Structures are given as C-alpha cells and as structure tokens.
Structure 1
Amino acid sequence: MMISRLTASPCNQGRRDAGDGTDHSQLCLEIEKLSNKFDKRQDDMLNSVLKQVNTGLEQNVAFRKQNDALLKHNDAFKKQNEAGRTHYRSKRLFFSSVPMWMPWPFSE
C-alpha cells in the first residue's frame, strides 16, 4: 500500500491538544516534518520524470531531423541513380540500333 496524501487533523485545525489537556505539539511537528519530507520526495520524483520526458522529447526531435536528412539524401541518390539509368539506356538503345555489319563510326 502506498501513501498518497498525509493529513493530520489535530494539527490542521490549530488545536494542539486532544481536549483532555494532552499536548500534541511535538507530534504535530513530527507529522508536519514527515509531510514536508513526503512532499519534497514527491516533487523530486516529478522533477526527475519531467527531466526524463524532456530528454525523450529532445531525442525524438533529433531523430526526426536525422530521419528527414536521410530521406533527402535517399531522394538525391534515387535521382542520381535514375539519371545513370537513363544515360545507360540511351547508350544501349544506340548500340542495339546499329546493325552488326555496319562499321564502327570511329574505325578507319
């Protein structure tokens, strides 16, 4: 079982005795210290979680930027590859259209 909230009714009401003359001042101070300690731990845990979330978000942004750069790089390679294929096809079409009995254009 986890304690989510700590309340102390004798201290919260400003009364430091139980009505029978018993002084609860020391008990109220200890409860208040524990409550403050609990609140500080809770704040520390929340701050730690927030730091982790922020780190995760920053990494996500960095990964997205890296992914965008890789996609642009990939597109450039695709264009370069397609240009090379087109150039190769044009040469292949030229040589396939020349009959074998025809002399090479650069021969003597």
Structure 2
Amino acid sequence: MTFREDLEALVLSCLSTGPAHGYELSKRIRSLSQEALSVAEGKLYPALHALEAEGDISAVWVPQGNKPPRKVYELTEVGRKTLRRKQAEWQAFARGVGSVLQNGVTEWKLVK
C-alpha cells in the first residue's frame, strides 16, 4: 500500500489556509479531521523540518513579547505545487480503496 500516512500532505493542506506555528498546525489537523487525527510533536517537527529543507514551506521566527519567539511556517509556491500533486495522488488512492471496499465482496463471490 502506498499511503500509510502522509503527514506532509496534511501539513501542506493546513498551511494552505495561512501561516501557523507547530502547535497551531497540530490543532488544525485535529480540528479539520473532526478529532480523528492527532499528530505528536515527535512526528510533526521532523515533517516540518523536511518540508522546509525541500523548499515546500518557509519559516520565520516571530517575537511574542515576554515569551520566546515562535517559528511560524508558510506555504511556498513550490509547496502549493507539491500539495496539488499530493492531493491528486491521495484522491486516486482513495478511489482505489473505495472501489475495493465497495466491489471486492461482490467480485470475490462471483469468482469463488
């Protein structure tokens, strides 16, 4: 199976709605998935660093008054292209899984 998870696609999609820091991205993923998905920091930050290294996102440190600055991530034009590609790949994958789940039992009974 090609897709076990695609955290990078989720991050890119969440950043398509606007810049965010890591904790905000985690909240967006949880909220947009209707609480079905939860991303641990140990997975989120390596994904953010990889996306930044690939040029899909950019980051700036934003001061917060008396608190430490936050690193805020933003989708780049390269990231928008990557997101469109990942969306198309995911839709094809979802159609394939849907087809197997809807037709597999019927087809198996016919072959058997």
Do both proteins adopt the same fold according to a TM-score greater than 0.5, normalized to the shorter chain? no
- TM-score, structure 1 normalization: 0.38
Q: Larger Cα Rg: Structure 1 or Structure 2? A: 1
Higher fraction of strand: 2
Higher fraction of helix: 1
